A and B are shown apart, each in its own frame.
Chain A
Amino acid sequence: MDKYVRTAAVLRDLLGGTDNIVSLAHCVTRLRLTLTDRARVDDTALRDHPAVLGVLERDTFQIVVGPAAVTPLAAALAQLLAAP
């Protein structure tokens, strides 16, 4: 399995699963998500994941993954979220 798809699948689960993710976007370094239920996020495991450089909570739930990874990772996560 592609490393981005594999990582996206882990992050999806740590975020509470597909049905907990309402929207996904990204900027230069961060995945920006809207979640249904913030309490379903596994904070410790998410922050400890080696691909996660940081987590910020602003207008959206933001996961810092760096400029090199953000675009392919966001694409992989979007693909997973769209899968039936």
Chain B
Amino acid sequence: MTHEPAAATTRRLLTALAAPPDDTATTEAVNGLRATAAEIRAFLADADEHDTAAVPSEVLHEWRNALARSHRALEQTAPDEWSRWRLPGTWLDSHLRLRSLIAHEVGKAYWDGRPEVHYAEIDIERYLWGAR
């Protein structure tokens, strides 16, 4: 059974948002984000390979917490780097949108008592047009 196109499209967009940080950004907090982004991309690649329809809510929760902690660490420990990359179109902008999107999905899953979130039901496009 295939879940194309909506699920695959969502996974592709999530993968794009989990972009690797710029090579010139090398602070400890950025390296944490680099590891988290790589983990997310690997998970999504595996899901794509197996055409998985849903992601466990707990996995999304872990991603959200990891992104949020590294974002806070970057803002607090390397404010110049934070300011440099916190502009529209950068890898950090993508990560902030990804964190916001995931946080909303985790929240909805929590209130609805859902153990997993279907990729096809993630309204990802609204996060690519302004929300962050």
Contact = CB atoms under 8 A, between A and B. Distances in A.
B103 A69 contact: no
A51 interface: yes
A59 B130 CA distance: 25
Nearest to B102: A53
A37 B113 CA distance: 33
B111 interface: yes
A65 B107 contact: yes
Nearest to B68: A47
B112 to A, nearest CB: 10
Contacts, number: 28
Interface of B is mostly: helix
Contacts of B103: 53-54
Interface residues of B, number: 14
A51 B112 CA distance: 11
A58 interface: no
B111 A3 contact: yes
B111 A51 contact: yes
A49 to B, nearest CB: 8
Contacts of B107: 50-53, 65-66, 69
Contacts of A47: 65, 68
Interface string A35-48: 00000000000011
Interface string B87-130: 00000000000001001101111110100000000000000000
A71 to B, nearest CB: 13
B86 interface: no
7 contacts: A50-B57, A50-B61, A54-B103, A66-B104, A66-B107, A66-B108, A69-B107
Interface of B: 57, 61, 65, 68, 100, 103-104, 106-111, 113
